[in-house]
Amino acid sequence: MRLHREGTATILLVLAFCCFAGFAALHWLPSVAAWPLVALFAGLLGVVIWFFRVPPRKPVPNDAVVLSPCDGKVVVIEEVEEYEYFKDKRIQVSVFMSPLNVHVNYHPINGTTAYRQYHKGKYLVAWHPKSSTENERSTVVVKHPVHGEVLVRQIAGALARRICTYPEPGGAVVQGTELGFIKFGSRVDLFLPRTASIAVKIGDVVQGATTVIARQNT
């Protein structure tokens, strides 16, 4: 397991803080008080390192399915009007990522990046109904020559303050490869064609680049 490049600055900052604070505690406080603080700082560093983990994933590309774009829990499955790009009805599937989940985002299908747009916004809790349209977010649309277009929306949560999105418009993408990264609690929305057969239900725990979210009907 490796650490994600987006975590380098954060990890180094937390490491410096923990080393300084631990040294100060051992130098200025009695041992009975200092060592619990040192353990606390070590735990903090461990949590931050764990957050930026990138587990090995080896998905087998399959044009018949839509894979989960992230790890987390399915919190929304409904037919909605998608106003930013499609401007028509789509099936929305939303996956909530807690701070303990892997926060790498993955391409759910093969294809070409047809659209990418970043939006500034609020920092409502990620499960809020309006977070999909009012929070800081980044939208990517991948176009498949047979199955049409799938929209992926990365949404910042109450703790998230940085969304990283990698694909460029016009570029080819491979199912299961990295689409981006969101720091701390957040959510990812998928907007699928109405003909898609949903393979999950609300409350299901899914794994990015592994769990089948839907099967695309031609």
Which residues does the annotation mark as catalytic?
A: 186
Distance, in Å, from the CA atom of 135 to the CA atom of 188, rounded to the nearest integer, reads 12
* 19 torsion bin: left (phi>0), alpha (psi -120 to 50), beta (else): alpha
Cβ(190)–Cβ(156) under 8 Å? no
Distance, in Å, from the CA atom of 47 to the CA atom of 204, rounded to the nearest integer, reads 25
Distance, in Å, from the CA atom of 154 to the CA atom of 161, rounded to the nearest integer, reads 12
Distance, in Å, from the CA atom of 157 to the CA atom of 136, rounded to the nearest integer, reads 8
